Structures are given as structure tokens and as C-alpha cells.
Amino acid sequence: MVAGAPFRSGAGAAAVLNAAAPLGILAAPVALLMIAGEFDLSIGSTLGAAGMTLLLLTQHFGWPLWAALLCALLIAGGIGLANGWLVVRTRLPSFLVTLGTMYVVRGLTVALSRLLTGRTQLSGLDTTPGFDVIRPVLAADLGPVAVAVAWWLILTAAAEWLLRRTRFGNWIFAAGGAPEAAREAGVPVARVKVTLFVATSLAAAFVAFLQAARFGGTDALRGEGQEFRAIVAAVIGGTLLAGGYGSAVGALMGALVFGMVQQGIVITGIDADWFLVVLGTLLVAAVLFNDWVRRHAEAGR
Amino acid sequence: MSPGAPVAPVAPPVLALERATMRFGGVVALDDVSMELSEGRVTCLLGENGAGKSTVIAILSGVLRPSAGRVLLDGAPVALGSPRDARARGIATVYQNLALVPLMSVWRNFFLGQEPVTGRGPLRRLDARRCRSESRDALSTMGILMEDVNRPVGALSGGERQAIAIARALHFGARVLILDEPTAALGVRQAELVLQQVQHARERGAAVLLVTHNPAHALRAGDDFVVLRRGRLAARLAGATVEQLAGLMAGEG
């Protein structure tokens, strides 16, 4: 991807951004959901399911591209709705509910792909009629970087604006910071949470589209581990694991750190194992720092 | 007012409890209790734990319906269907948890659930400037001067937090203010701050029900005193001494 770029440093920066963008698109809504006090561990498998739906419908069933995109979005939105509904109705920890969804969705994706096509990898999206229409939106390059980078910045800005400048954003903070107090004040806490579960799932579908368009195909296992990386990016960016505080811009920084560490190690030729060491250290440091900030903010005089 | 004199309302009662009884199964939590809250007056509800104070709060704030007896609003019988219903009728209850979010700023807390917006369509957004100035003004009319309303509520003192909850209730149109043990967890200085808030609320014409088990705090802030003992009305007074109230609460009156 970086080959042919004239400047080493410029190419390096572009590679960092390209690596960070898909994670960043996931991390922005994940940060909002975490601020509202919930986790979504199913977005990685939702990403896989949405991509596979798109490929199965267009390649195996011959659906038109637009219908397949719509159907994949609806399936992803349905997964988010199911997560949100289960969490607010059962009051079980979302960590567990979405862990369950993660296995169910991943299992279904792999099993159905195998059942229908005998394979878990599908390609040919780039030769599907209508692909030229979506290519500029999903797979184009803007100079040295992929269009995904632009989406990442736009979605982060929108999420940050929603969080800081709208009523809904106020409710997100309250839903995670003190749910009982929020309910007493008339905040529709359940609606806020369900909406955000749907948002994280739709973001996962969008990343699936971006990657399927870029690579022309997908893998039933795509997105594995992305749920944890998105949470780590949000936490590195200052979002509290316990909810009630954080930002979308922070999640952007967290995703950028991911990209820099990953690409930095690639560019400098350091063994990739060190990537995990650096990441784990960053995560623990971030959690400690966030907790210190929280106690500082909550300390009475 | 001489101690022990009967209550002489100066204004018609805004909210009244008339011969209210509350049974939970075979347990009588409240037995034939009547009391009145009047505009611009602070009524103190005193009693030991289990005397029935919480039951009175629950009935007046719309959480419970009395097994027998009535609630009168402006002299007319009213069925308070829910806390939301009570709030819509101008009856605000401030519980000990204050319904505040510690990590959120003063102005965000102040308008939580009732945020004013500006702009149209997708650009509809919080009117943050108005939120800041109105919350600052509302607090200053309560005698709390807060320059920086961007501070998180968690960083404020207990008295300041209570003031925000009270100012918020009054700002959104409460005529009746029910305060559940507002001084219970506070030190001397912070309790004094809260009792000043009660005076401000009274001066603004609110009918205040101050629920407490501290006779000294009640005397410092109250006009009328209602003492409950094991679910029954032990006394209704327009003046008292600490010793007298303490005696009534303990059952020596």
C-alpha cells in the first residue's frame, strides 16, 4: 500500500492513518456506548457477518448490490437492537450479553458460509454490477490515504458534536455516570443505550463494506479481535471503563496510537511481538490515569 | 409564637394530607395522619426511624397511594398517579441522592432531562450558553455564587450539591418542595448552608416540607412542626423547643 510513495515519512504517515481508520470508525461509537455505561463485544463478529452477507447475497444469490448492502445493514442493525434490548430488559452485564452474541454471530457466519458455498472466503465484489457507483465512496484514495480516513474523521467529529452539544449527548453522560439519577431526571436511559448498541453495530457493518470494497471480498473471520481493540482505543483516549466520562476525539487518538505502534514496528522492522507488549503497557497506564482523573474530579472539598 | 400553640395557617394550604392511613399487608405504617403545607411556610416533619416520615413523603410525591384518606392540592382532592405526575403538578421531591451525576458539570446537571435547545433539524443542539447563564443565575438567587458552572458536581461540597438540587426544583416550577433529610450527612457548616437554602425557598413562596430527625435543624428553619411516632400524629405545633420536640419524638410528650 505504501509502495511508490516518494517520501518515506509521508508514506509512513499515510500507512499509519490507513491502518488506524477502520479501528477509529469502530472506536468512536464504542466510546459513546462505554460512556453510557455499556460494552459491545459483538462488533467484531457483526463486522464479519455484514461483510459475508454482502458477498453471499451478491455472489451466491445474485442480488443487486444496493439490496445486498441494505440487507447487511439491516442484519447489523438487528444485532445491535437485540444486544440493546437484551441488556436493558434483563439488566445483565452487557459484557456477558454481547460476549454471547459475539459467539452466536461468528458461529452463524462461518457455518452458513460453509453450508451455502463450501468456503469461508468469498471474492468478486469488485466485478459486481454497480460497484463503480460505490467505489468512490468506499474504496477510493484521497492522495496518499484511503477514503476510509476521511470517514473516520467525519464520523469522529459527528460523534464528538453529538456528545458535547446535543441533548442526546447529555443523556449519554448521565446514563453511564448515574443511571438512577438520570432516570429520576426524566432521561430515557434504556432508549439511549439501545440506540448506541445499534450505532456500534452499524459502524461495524460500515467498516465491513469499506474493507470488502477495498479488497474485493471478505472472510467469515474478518473483524476478529476488533471489539477489544476498539475498547482499548477508547480507554487509551480517556474513556472510563466504568462509564460516565470520555470522548470521541479521545477514541480517535487511541486508534491513532494503535496505528502508530503497529506501523512503527513494521517500518522500523522491530519484531511484531513487541506490539503486544507496548499495547498492554499503554492500556494499563491509561486505565490508571483515567481512574486518577475520575477520583480527582469526584473528590469533595 | 408561644411553644405548644396550635397551628394557625396564614395562607390556604397548597398541599394537604387528610386523615391518611397506609397499610402494608397487616402492618400499619401511617395511621390517620393529617397535615398541611402552606405557601411561604416551612413545615418540619419530625420522627425517629420508622415513625412514618418516608411513607408521608412517598404519598405526597406520588410514589404510593394511601390505603385510606386523601391528598388535597389547593383544597381539591387529587390522585397523584406517579412521581412524574406529582412533578407536573408542581410537587418536587429532593431525595438524599439528589438525582445528580457527579462527573457531569453543574450546568449539565441543572438542565438534565429538560435541556433547552437551539437551531433546527440536524443542527438542533444544546443551548449551552443559556444553560450556563441560567444555572448561574438560579444559583445566585439561592445565595450560591458560582463563577464556574463547568465544574463537575462531584467536586462540590455537600451543601452546594443540595443547593443545586433545590435551585433546580424551584427553577422548573416547583410550588411544593419536599426535602428528605437534607442535612443528615452534613457537617455543621454545610448543614447551615442547606438551612439557608430552605429560607430562600420559603422567601420565594414555596411550600416546603422539611423532613428531618434533628430537632435543632427543624427549629432553625421551620414555621410549623409535625411530629410522628410509630405511624401516628404525636403533635402539630407552631413553635417548640428542642427539648420539647425531642421528647415528642421519643414518646415522652
Q: What is the mean pLDDT of residues A2-12?
A: 55
Least Cα separation, residue A56 to chain B (angstroms): 35
SS (H, E, C) B186-241: CCHHHHHHHHHHHHHHHHCCCEEEEEECCHHHHHHHCCEEEEEECCEEEEEECCCC
CB contact under 8 A, A294 and B103: yes
Cβ contacts of B115 on chain A, cutoff 8 Å: 167, 170
pLDDT band at B6 (very low <50, low <70, confident <90, very high): low
pLDDT at residue A300 above 50? no
Round to whole Å and give the CA distance between A51 and A67: 14
Burial class for A301, CB neighbours closer than 10 Å (0-12, 13-18, 19+): exposed
Q: Are B28 and B22 in contact (CB under 8 A)?
A: yes
Q: Are B66 and B30 in contact (CB under 8 A)?
A: yes
Question: Which residue ranges form the domains of chain A, and what is each CATH number?
Answer: 10-294 (1.10.3470)
Question: What chain A residue is nearest to B93 in terms of C-alpha separation?
Answer: A184
Nearest one of A15, A38, A69 to A227, comparing CA atoms: A38
pLDDT at residue B253 above 70? no
State the pLDDT at residue A84: 98
Round to whole Å and give the CA distance between A274 and B93: 57
Round to whole Å and give the CA distance between B117 and B128: 8
CB contact under 8 A, B99 and A185: yes
CA dihedral A143, A146, A150, A153 (to 10 degrees): -120
Round to whole Å and give the CA distance between A2 and B183: 66
CB contact under 8 A, B111 and A170: yes
CB contact under 8 A, B155 and A178: no
State the pLDDT at residue B8: 56
CB contact under 8 A, A181 and B97: yes
CB contact under 8 A, B126 and A169: yes
Q: Are A301 and B156 in contact (CB under 8 A)?
A: yes
Burial A155-193 (b: 16+ CB within 10 A, else e): bbeebbebbbbbbbbbbbbbbbbbbebbbbbebebbebb
pLDDT at residue A5 above 50? no
- Among residues of chain B, what percentage have pLDDT more than 90? 70
- Among residues of chain A, what percentage have pLDDT more than 90? 81
Residue A3 contacts B where some CB pair is shorter than 8 Å: no
- Under DSSP, the state recorded for A36 is T
pLDDT tens-place string over residues B22-76: 999 889 999 999 999 999 999 999 998 889 999 999 999 999 999 999 999 999 9
CB contact under 8 A, B101 and A181: yes
What the block records as the C-alpha cell of A298 is 469526584
Count Cβ–Cβ pairs < 8 Å, chain A vs chain B: 84
State the pLDDT at residue A269: 77
CA angle A254, A255, A257 (to 5 degrees): 65
pLDDT band at B241 (very low <50, low <70, confident <90, very high): confident
CB-nearest partner of A166 from B114, B126, B154: B126
State how beta strands B42-46 and B68-73 pair: unpaired
CA dihedral A89, A92, A96, A101 (to 10 degrees): -10
Cβ contacts of B99 on chain A, cutoff 8 Å: 180-181, 184-185
Q: What is the mean pLDDT of residues B133-146?
A: 91
From the CB of residue B129, how many other CB atoms can be counted at a distance below 10 Å?
A: 11
CB contact under 8 A, A297 and B102: yes
Q: What is the mean pLDDT of residues B10-21?
A: 86
pLDDT at residue A7 above 50? no
Looking at every residue in chain A, the average pLDDT score rounds to: 92
CB contact under 8 A, B114 and A186: yes
Cβ contacts of B117 on chain A, cutoff 8 Å: 166-167
Q: Which residues pair with B212 in a beta bridge?
A: B46
CB contact under 8 A, A299 and B100: no
Round to whole Å and give the CA distance between A186 and A10: 51
Q: What is the mean pLDDT of residues A235-253?
A: 95
Burial class for B251, CB neighbours closer than 10 Å (0-12, 13-18, 19+): exposed
State the pLDDT at residue B1: 46
**Residues 6 or more apart whose Cβ sits within 8 Å of residue B50:** B230
CA angle A100, A103, A105 (to 5 degrees): 105
State the pLDDT at residue B23: 94
What is the predicted ipTM?
0.86
State the pLDDT at residue B3: 52
Q: Are B62 and B80 in contact (CB under 8 A)?
A: yes
Residue A173 contacts B where some CB pair is shorter than 8 Å: yes
pLDDT tens-place string over residues A109-129: 999 999 999 999 999 999 999
Question: What chain A residue is nearest to B152 in terms of C-alpha separation?
Answer: A297
State the pLDDT at residue B13: 92
State the pLDDT at residue B244: 86
Q: What is the mean pLDDT of residues A185-197?
A: 95
pLDDT at residue B102 above 50? yes
pLDDT band at B96 (very low <50, low <70, confident <90, very high): confident
Cβ contacts of B112 on chain A, cutoff 8 Å: 170, 174, 181-182, 185-187
- The structure's pTM equals 0.89
pLDDT tens-place string over residues A255-285: 999 888 888 777 777 777 788 888 889 889 9
Q: Give alpha helix (H) positions in chain A.
A: 8-35, 43-55, 65-90, 94-117, 131-138, 147-165, 167-177, 179-184, 189-215, 226-236, 248-268, 273-298
Question: What chain A residue is nearest to B151 in terms of C-alpha separation?
Answer: A297
State the pLDDT at residue B219: 92
Q: What is the mean pLDDT of residues A18-32?
A: 97
**Residues 182-241 in A contacting B (C-alpha not used; CB under 8 Å):** 182, 184-187
Burial class for A280, CB neighbours closer than 10 Å (0-12, 13-18, 19+): exposed
pLDDT at residue B143 above 90? no
CB-nearest partner of A170 from B100, B112, B156: B112
Least Cα separation, residue A211 to chain B (angstroms): 29
Round to whole Å and give the CA distance between A63 and A113: 16
- Alpha carbon distances (Å) from A42 to A91, A111, A283: 17, 17, 21
State how beta strands B176-180 and B207-212 pair: parallel
**Residues 6 or more apart whose Cβ sits within 8 Å of residue A84:** A193, A194, A195, A196, A197, A198
Nearest one of A47, A31, A22 to A218, comparing CA atoms: A47
Round to whole Å and give the CA distance between A73 and A205: 6
Residues of B with CB under 8 A from a CB of A: 83-84, 95, 97-104, 108, 111-115, 117, 124-126, 128, 152, 154-158
Round to whole Å and give the CA distance between B219 and B212: 11
Least Cα separation, residue A235 to chain B (angstroms): 17
Q: What is the mean pLDDT of residues A45-74?
A: 97
